[in-house]
Amino acid sequence: MKLSTENPMEPFGTGPVPDTKKFDEWNQVMRIDSHRFGTLELNADQLFLFPQGLIGMESLHQWALIPDPDNASVAWLQSAARGDRALAVISPRAFFPDYRVHIGRRDLSSLHLTSGSEVYVMTTVAGHVGKLTTNLRAPLMLNLDRRLGCQVITNDDRPMRQALPTVAAESAKPLPTSQVRAA
């Protein structure tokens, strides 16, 4: 397994995100009417499947990763089933260069990783401008090859509400494989 240097948001462009799940029968295009981005049209292959959902949203399995049009350090994980569910996410390494993910192998099983799989790590953001925090204890793991995701709880004492600096330490880069430790 290797951590990706590819930007998982690249295929989505900078357009808006949809909510009401409707597939065009011929083109396999999903329309989502989102509160944050208006109506989005996405191909099914632009979605990430989270088989167990996310913590607190276990029934929501399909999510689109949408870049924030105003801030390159932020993206939005938009539910394909619920237009009112979108989470701000960041690459934690952009703000905390020494961030390491410590999780058990079992936590990664839903990602169906192979030796050449690319994994991207993101964390959720909460709060408001000037007082933003990120959850380093429960990162999101994305298998870019299979478009699978999961949220895991780390095996260390990472904070659930780590204050975010106002400027990223470096551009968002995926964690190298050596920094994802499976027990």
DSSP string covering 31-70, please? EEEETTTEEEEEEGGGEEE-TT-BTTBTT--EEEEEE-SS
| Pairing between β-strand 22-23 and β-strand 47-49 as defined by DSSP bridges | unpaired
Given this model, what pLDDT does residue 170 score? 53
SS3 143: strand
Give the mean pLDDT of 76-94: 95
Q: What is the pTM of this model?
A: 0.75
Q: Other C-beta atoms within 10 Å of 167: how many?
A: 8
Q: What pLDDT does residue 56 have?
A: 95
Q: How far apart are the first and last CA of the chain?
A: 14
Give me the domains of the chain, ranges plus CATH numbers.
Answer: 2-182 (2.30.290.10)
Q: Does residue 79 or residue 26 have the better pLDDT? A: 79
Instruction: Please tell me the distance from the alpha carbon of residue 74 to that of residue 97, in angstroms, as a whole number.
Output: 16
Q: How far is CA 72 from the centre of its chain?
A: 14
Q: Where on the phi/psi map is residue 11: left (φ > 0), alpha (ψ -120 to 50), or beta?
A: alpha
* Residue pLDDT, tens place only, 119-148: 899 999 999 888 999 999 999 999 988 899
Beta strand pairing call for 118-128 and 2-3: parallel
Phi, psi of 141 (to 5 degrees): -110, 130
Stretch 37-58: mean pLDDT: 92
